[in-house]
Structure 1
Amino acid sequence: MYSDIAEFYHEIFPVNQEFLAFIRNYLGAPGGRLLDLGCGPGDYIHALSGEYDGIGMDANPEMIHLANSRNRGKFYTLSFSEINGLKGPFDCVWCIGNSLSYLPYGMEGSFFKILSDLLGTSGRFILQVVNWDRYLSTGEMDFPVKTLSDGRTFHRSYEPSKENTVIFKTSLQKNHEIMGQWTDTLYPKSMDHLHDLMTRSGMTVMGEYGNYDKAPFSPLSSPASILVAKKTTL
């Protein structure tokens, strides 16, 4: 899907100013090293590049092409299974936009262990996914329809599937005619499960929130699951 929507990605997923305000609490001193996992077109690394040394990675080559052609920073085509090729330490690492929901269950342990190793001694990791607790309890997930400047509309929905996975259905329409449609497999991860993964990989969870205003996480009402963690020190 992401290769097909790259040309108008910014219209569907504009830069989230609330996230930029939130992340500044955890960046560390200017000049530090930042890592955006699942960076898309690299907008957040670009926004912080005047003060920090930023790297972005994404599994989609078209997104990395956009990042390298439009934004400041260093961008690489890498999947979550290839982050062991990155060289730490990093002062702040983040993975937002529900990107981690694409990580298969069998790869979670190794991913978080490598991530913990990439963090500097005082480094921070910020993770944001949709509130899977609510979906797993109610089976409901509401997505607003996104209208593009040319009148096309972008639609999203979830459909439960086998082995605790979810099919992410997306389509591009105009005047109710489907111009393109795609499906992807997602791997829901509850807040407790994410907390446990971080703890077992050598990180300490510092906060669990339901939005970027740091509202307490509510399994049935929060729009998102956000965790902030640091490397555990003895």
Structure 2
Amino acid sequence: MSGSIYSHAKLYDLMFPGGGPAVDYYRDYAGRQGGSVLELGCGTGHKLIPLAAEGRPCTGLDFSADMLAEARRKADERGVTVEWARGDMRDFDLGRTFDFVFIAANSLLHLHEADDLISCFRSVRRHLAPGARFVFDVFNPNVRLLAAADGVRRGRESLSFVDPDRGDVRVEVAEVYDAAAQVTRGTWFFSTGSEPDFVAAPLEIRSVFPQELPLLLSLGGLRLVGRFGDWAGRPFATDAPLQLCVCESA
């Protein structure tokens, strides 16, 4: 099987089962902010369903029909109400504003061109109610690690998982870094002992460097009002693992 990694929603959920500090952070922030919630790139609802389970009016937008179908199934299974919408985060119009908008788990980095990022930020701004906040997390690029992306296929033991139907699944990744485009281009391979490479899926992720981020946000009509280096809210630093950004309308 080939196609995008997001065409295999159940495998994605087995590899990334959800939970953890990111869910806690977004749940707590939504609680402090109050009101309605919009998640862009919501995937299978890892982050959004726990927010909706607390009774908040939640909307999730994603480009992948497969991921949305799994999100609907999971929400229905839990008896949680969420409005799911298929759309492109670069340019969308839901006809209303929200009190809290977020993009989690590097989903923003599927936008490779600066113009696409700016267009996304402009769309977000149009959907922010007065006093609303827009929060997202992306990894903080490590130049040494990017340079080490040499195209060699390597195992990712931390991502291996057990599929109830197939058994133990090994995950391997081969990546190269396109410095001119700031994009890591990879192929993810899923294998079992009896079924090698039953999925080979491409995945391309942009790097957004700390210096360019405030400018991109400004061009999109947003203002960066806080940037943190981890889920505990420590100040952002050069060696921080992620950029956790809090924004408002400019």
With structure 2 as the length reference, what TM-score do the two structures score?
0.81
User: How far off is 1:199 after superposition?
Assistant: 2.4
User: How far off is 1:35 after superposition?
Assistant: 0.7
| 1:198 aligns to 2:217 (yes or no) | yes
Evaluate the alpha carbon distance shift between residue 140 and residue 125 of structure 1 in structure 2; reply closer, same or farther with a 3 A threshold. Answer: farther
5+ unaligned residues in a row in structure 1: which ranges?
Answer: none
Instruction: For 1:122 and 1:179, locate their aligned partners in 2 and report how far apart those are by CA, in whole Å.
Output: 48
| 1:55 aligns to 2:64 (yes or no) | no
Which digits, 9 at most, give the CA deviation of each residue in 1:99-155, with x for residues without a partner? 1111131312222112112111111111111222x1378525796531211211223
Partner of 2:201: 182
Partner of 1:13: 16
CA contact (8 A) 2:60 2:84 kept: yes
One-letter amino acid matched to 1:117: R
**Percent identity of paired positions between Structure 1 and Structure 2:** 19
Secondary structure of 2:168's aligned partner: coil
| 1:229 aligns to 2:247 (yes or no) | yes
CA contact (8 A) 1:95 1:126 kept: yes
Evaluate the alpha carbon distance shift between residue 224 and residue 157 of structure 1 in structure 2; reply closer, same or farther with a 3 A threshold. Answer: farther
User: How far off is 1:3 after superposition?
Assistant: 4.1
Instruction: For 1:162 and 1:138, locate their aligned partners in 2 and report how far apart those are by CA, in whole Å.
Output: 9
User: How far off is 1:218 after superposition?
Assistant: 2.8
5+ unaligned residues in a row in structure 2: which ranges?
Answer: none
Evaluate the alpha carbon distance shift between residue 78 and residue 138 of structure 1 in structure 2; reply closer, same or farther with a 3 A threshold. Answer: closer
CA contact (8 A) 1:35 1:56 kept: yes
Evaluate the alpha carbon distance shift between residue 56 and residue 186 of structure 1 in structure 2; reply closer, same or farther with a 3 A threshold. Answer: same
Task: Please give the residue correspondences for 1:1-234 in structure 2 after superposition, counting only pairs within 5 Å.
Answer: 1-27=4-30, 32-49=35-52, 50-71=54-75, 72=80, 73-83=82-92, 85-105=93-113, 106-132=115-141, 134-135=142-143, 139-140=147-148, 145-149=158-162, 150-161=167-178, 163-164=180-181, 165-175=183-193, 177-219=196-238, 221-232=239-250
